[in-house]
Amino acid sequence: ETGVTQTPRHLVMGMTNKKSLKCEQHLGHNAMYWYKQSAKKPLELMFVYNFKEQTENNSVPSRFSPECPNSSHLFLHLHTLQPEDSALYLCASSQLAPRGPGELFFGEGSRLTVL
Amino acid sequence: TQLLEQSPQFLSIQEGENLTVYCNSSSVFSSLQWYRQEPGEGPVLLVTVVTGGEVKKLKRLTFQFGDARKDSSLHITAAQPGDTGLYLCAGADDYKLSFGAGTTVTVRA
């Protein structure tokens, strides 16, 4: 138990579906992140929220839409995805420190399959 | 985007052997972190190194940060099956981490 909970753990969707991934952190952190993990590739940073404000959008296609209603919750809304978007989506939180992001606490991930 | 290259990509060894995993970059980082990820779970932090030349030990794991703060290594002594997992290095810059692709380590009993 890392203090970061992701739901659902597994999701299968068609290319025309709309779905959302949810992340909740119980650690009192001030930053939350979405990462994409594909086989044999580095974790790709998608979005960063710092005190609920989006501070990074790493050239992510608009079919991925993040939402951070408060410092404890983070959503990733999915719409008209492509098969190449199939991956493990990891949410993380951290307490930002003067010298950097500090330790990232990850959830267990949401395994997404796009048919 | 700051690129971190990890080598080797895969490593399979017998229990009791030693192993070293490398993380290299052309960029300088304020700090570097090592994570281990097991199947079905998210990565978990092992260590953070901050100072160039720093060496940290965590039981049988030894982490070293290069003098120029661009590279790092992880050495495991007398590996055990419980050390099996994906080892990820990550360089810190401001408020974000850039990750390498990882080294998959398998320790056979």
| pLDDT tens by residue, B76-92 | 999 999 999 999 999 98
Q: How far apart are CA B36 and CA B34, in angstroms?
A: 7
- Which chain A residues touch B96 with a CB distance below 8 Å? 33, 45, 48, 56, 101
Does the beta carbon of A13 lie under 8 angstroms from any beta carbon of chain B? no
Give A20-43 pLDDT, tens digit per residue.
999 999 999 999 999 999 987 889
Tokens 């330790």 identify what position? A103
Identify which of B29, B47, B18 has the alpha carbon closest to the alpha carbon of residue B91: B29
Amino acid (1-letter code) at residue B57: K
Show Cβ contacts of residue A47 under 8 Å, excluding neighbours closer than 6 positions.
A33, A34, A54, A56, A57, A58, A60, A66, A76
Give B16-73 pLDDT, tens digit per residue.
999 999 999 998 988 999 999 998 899 999 999 999 999 999 999 999 999 999 999 9
Of all helices (H) and strands (E), which one includes residue A18? strand A18-25
Q: Going by DSSP bridges, is the β-strand pair B71-76/B55-58 parallel, antiparallel, or unpaired?
A: unpaired
Does the beta carbon of A89 lie under 8 angstroms from any beta carbon of chain B? no
Q: Does the distance separating the beta carbons of B95 and A55 come in below 8 Å?
A: yes
Q: How far apart are CA A103 and CA B48, in angstroms?
A: 8
Cα distances (angstroms) measured from residue B80 to each of A22, A87, B16, B43, B46? 36, 30, 6, 19, 16
Q: Is A109 left (phi over 0), alpha (psi -120 to 50) or beta?
A: left
Of A33, A45, A99, the CB nearest to B31: A99
Give A49-69 pLDDT, tens digit per residue.
987 677 677 789 999 999 999
- Which chain A residues touch B98 with a CB distance below 8 Å? 42, 45
Look at residue A3 and tell me whether its pLDDT is greater than 80: yes
Centroid of chain to Cα A2: 15
Q: Enumerate residues 47 to 76 of chain A having a beta carbon within 8 A of any beta carbon in chain B.
A: 48, 50, 55-56
Amino acid (1-letter code) at residue A60: V
Identify which of A87, A38, A4, A102 has the alpha carbon closest to the alpha carbon of residue B101: A38
Residue of A nearest to B38 (CA): A108
